[in-house]
Structure 1
Amino acid sequence: MDPLSLVLQTFGVRADVFFTGNLCNLQDFSEESGQRGHLHILKSGALDLIDKRGKRLRIEEPTVIFFPRGEQHRFIPDAESGADLVCATLEYAKISTSPIAKALPSHLLLPMKAYPKFPVICDALFAEAFSEEYGRITAINRWLDLFLIEILRTCLQNNLITTGLMAGLAHPKLAKAMAAIHTEPAKHWTLDSLAAEAFMSRAKFAASFKDVIGQTPASYLLDWRMTLARSMLKKGKPVNEVAEAIGYENSSAMARVFKKVVGVSPKQFQLRGDQ
């Protein structure tokens, strides 16, 4: 499985449409809990975007307006034409641990004409959004999920993500080491063996990994193993099976590390309802 697919599958994010049509009145958007993001796609018309600092920007062409962490913002549509929009919330499995939410800038403005693949998906998305077909909401959400993947690909390909896991996936050498960790978490990885995967010297690899991803390779490996442990435990997997899958000699060894990182034992984690 490719690295981006693995991240999306492991951490989870989905789009839920909440508005399609012509916006003709001032509209405020905010997410007080910080648990959801906002994705807007301007099809036609024009609007003024006002961010949380009061900065005002005029948008007069088809554009993707993306607030990954639900920052407060406001739209003032053009008085004559209004603004034809598709708006969705982004629902993360858990935003505080999502590398997608953490890695992206506070907001992105992506003109449609600058990214040739955007219109291909958006034409189908808009056809559903501005129709009255049965099943349109479900269809819109499916197209939005596909479009979100294309946005993430665009961010990686155009260096719009500068730190964290997602930035590592965009790095031609570090991505090889990360892919090795992701696909073989149970392997006894060392700094030397990971550097070899990246075709880098030990010192260069360690420095680059810390600079780009913001963690040491050992810390990242631990975090990935604990992420997989959480995911498997949520699915009801036995602790000994989880321990074997992520590289621990036995369930007791894994449980000690898990409690130190997560704050509760694996069994307690499985019983909690706020995971």
Structure 2
Amino acid sequence: MDRITTLMNRFHRTVRASSRSDADIVVLGEQGNPQEVRFYPHDRGQHLPTERELWFAQVDWTGNLNPLQRALPKEVRFDLTACAETQALIQVILQEHTQARCGGHWVLNRLGDVLLVRLLRDQIDKGSTKPGLIAGLADERLSRAIVAMHDHPGRVWNNQDLASEAGLSLSRFNELFAAQVGETPMGYLRKWRLTLARQDLQKGDRVDAVSRRYAYGSPEAFTRAYRKAYDEAPIAARKAANVA
């Protein structure tokens, strides 16, 4: 089961080399021997300078809608000495960064995105002590239900359907979901649908089409839910997209 592909496809980002002051990804180690990656998803330039810095990068999340970004802690640390594959990836990144080659910037951007995926995988594998999306995806049972919601947001889900996806009884599923994710399954689904709806409206999609896409009974019901979540009518986001 793939826990992050839908999120990566729906919420684009760009990873590129940067200066220290603009960086939110920092590679540390000795020359030619990267040992650690530190990632600051919410604040750039938070890394304290050391003599062990090898490479800096900046992640542009293209807006503030990405649920994975919001779920990450203030600082992510990745021990490269325990992951030879990622260490080798960064050695290629360092070669591309220090040697002027044709297409070097393009290669760095792509490799930087691969590095980001590996950081996200590591966070999900480790789980989280705080309720949220990372903790939910880290749970093998809950992740099946969460991925089902991510992949099929327009399906008319109910709690029993989602409990069946997780392989749990209804009561156990509701209890575990609330404890790990920090909200009810229907609350999470509602938030996910509205996040996708906002994204679609900002691309210029019609309100009635978006309301049908995410299983709202009518454009009026969708408008009420959207206004409650974002304090504006959905048509405002669509108009802004048309102006841009």
Asked whether the two chains share a fold, i.e. TM above 0.5, the reply is yes
Match of 2:78 in 1: 110
* Structure 2 residue identity aligned to 1:65: R
CA contact (8 A) 1:125 1:143 kept: yes
Q: Map 1:139-150; keep pairs closer than 5 Å.
A: 139-150=107-118
Residue 247 and residue 151 in structure 1: after superposition, are their counterparts in 2 closer, same or farther (change >3 A)? same
Q: Map 1:193-204; keep pairs closer than 5 Å.
A: 193-204=161-172
* Structure 2 residue identity aligned to 1:66: F
**1:70-121 superposed Cα distances (whole Å, 9 cap, x missing partner):** 26232132xxxxx4511011112333x4322222222133221111321232
The reply to whether residue 4 of structure 1 matches residue 4 of structure 2 is yes
Alignment partners' CA distance in 2, 1:17 and 1:192: 46
Match of 1:191 in 2: 159
Alignment partners' CA distance in 2, 1:249 and 1:110: 45
Q: Map 1:61-140; keep pairs closer than 5 Å.
A: 62-70=35-43, 72-77=46-51, 83=52, 85-95=54-64, 97-140=65-108
Percent identity of the aligned residues? 26
CA contact (8 A) 1:103 1:163 kept: no
**1:20-55 superposed Cα distances (whole Å, 9 cap, x missing partner):** xxxxxxx6x47xxxxxx7001125259xxxxxxxxx
Cα deviation, residue 214, structure 1: 1.1
Match of 2:27 in 1: 41
Is 179-188 or 209-218 further displaced after alignment? 179-188
1:250 to 204, 218, 238: 218
Residue 2 and residue 161 in structure 1: after superposition, are their counterparts in 2 closer, same or farther (change >3 A)? farther
How many aligned residue pairs are there?
242
Q: Normalized against structure 1, the TM-score is what?
A: 0.79
What SS does structure 2 have at the residue aligned with 1:89? strand
CA RMSD of aligned residues (A): 2.5
Alignment partners' CA distance in 1, 2:123 and 2:215: 32
What SS does structure 2 have at the residue aligned with 1:6? helix
Cα deviation, residue 130, structure 1: 1.3
Gaps of 5+ in 1: 20-26, 31-36, 47-59, 78-82
Determine which structure has the larger strand proportion and give its number. 1
Q: Map 1:168-187; keep pairs closer than 5 Å.
A: 168-187=136-155
CA contact (8 A) 1:103 1:162 kept: no
1:224 to 160, 171, 192: 192
**1:1-29 superposed Cα distances (whole Å, 9 cap, x missing partner):** 9330111222333212114xxxxxxx6x4
Alignment partners' CA distance in 1, 2:131 and 2:16: 27
Alignment partners' CA distance in 1, 2:236 and 2:70: 27
CA contact (8 A) 1:104 1:160 kept: no
* Structure 2 residue identity aligned to 1:245: R
Match of 1:270 in 2: 238
**1:208-238 superposed Cα distances (whole Å, 9 cap, x missing partner):** 1111111111110100110111121122211
Cα deviation, residue 167, structure 1: 2.3
CA contact (8 A) 2:12 2:62 kept: yes
* Structure 1 residue identity aligned to 2:209: E
Residue 13 and residue 214 in structure 1: after superposition, are their counterparts in 2 closer, same or farther (change >3 A)? farther
Determine which structure has the larger helix proportion and give its number. 2
**After TM superposition, which residue ranges in structure 1, 4 or more long, deviate above 4 angstroms?**
none
Q: Normalized against structure 2, the TM-score is what?
A: 0.89
CA contact (8 A) 2:17 2:55 kept: yes
